[in-house]
Amino acid sequence: MDVVLSERDKMVSGAPYDPACPELVALRKRAQALMRDYNQTIFGDVQRAELMQELLGTWNGAVIRAPFHVDYGVNIHFGPGCFANFNLVVLDVCEVRIGARTQIGPNVQILTADHPRDAASRAKGIEWGSPITIGEDVWIGGGAIILPGVTVGDGAIIAAGAVVTRDVPAGATAKGNPARCNIGSEG
C-alpha cells in the first residue's frame, strides 16, 4: 500500500509541495498571530516566553529581539544561550537548527524555502525547501543571508552582509557574496 504524504509532510521533508493547501495556510496564520503578539512586546514582558514556547519548535530561552519573522515557527529549534538581534527572518518550510550560544546580528535572513528557476513552473505555485543547520558558538553578522541546505560548523563566523550558498566548516570565517571561507581566520 502506498503512503500518501500530506502537503505538510512533503514540505518538511524537502519534497515539492503546495503552500496554498488549507493546513499550511492555517499554520502560517497561527504563526502570524503569535509573531504579531510577540512583536508588540518589549524586553521584560512576561508573555514573551509563553509566546516563544508556543511559536517555536524549541525555544530554550533564546533572547530574540522584536521584530521577529517566520513562516511557521514550529520548524525552528534554538539551542540554549542563543541571541538574535532585531529583525531576524527565518523561512522555516524545513527544519532550522541553531546550536547553543549562537549569536545572530540584526537583519539576518535564514531561508530554507526554494522555488523553481523557470517561470512556467513558478506559476504553478509549487515550492520546496532544504533544512539549515547552524552549529554551536557561531557568530552571524548583521545582514547576512543563509540559503537553503547550508550547514554552518561549530565556532564559524559569518561576516556581515555575507550570502552563504555553501556549507561553512567549523572554525571558518565566511564573507562576501557569494561567501567564501577562510579557515581559522577572522579576517
Are residues 82 and 60 in contact, defined by beta-carbon separation less than 8 angstroms? yes
CA-based radius of gyration for the chain:
17
**8 C-beta neighbours (distance < 10 Å), count:** 16
Residue tagged active-site, from 6, 33, 53, 115: 115
Helices (H), the chain: 7-13, 22-39, 47-55, 119-123
Asked if 130 contacts 147 with a C-beta cutoff of 8 angstroms, the reply is no
Q: Report the sign of the C-alpha dihedral through residues 75, 79, 81, 83, in that order.
A: negative
Active site residue 115: yes
3-class DSSP assignment, residue 157: strand
- The DSSP output letter for 65 is P
Query: Which active-site residues does the annotation give?
Result: 115
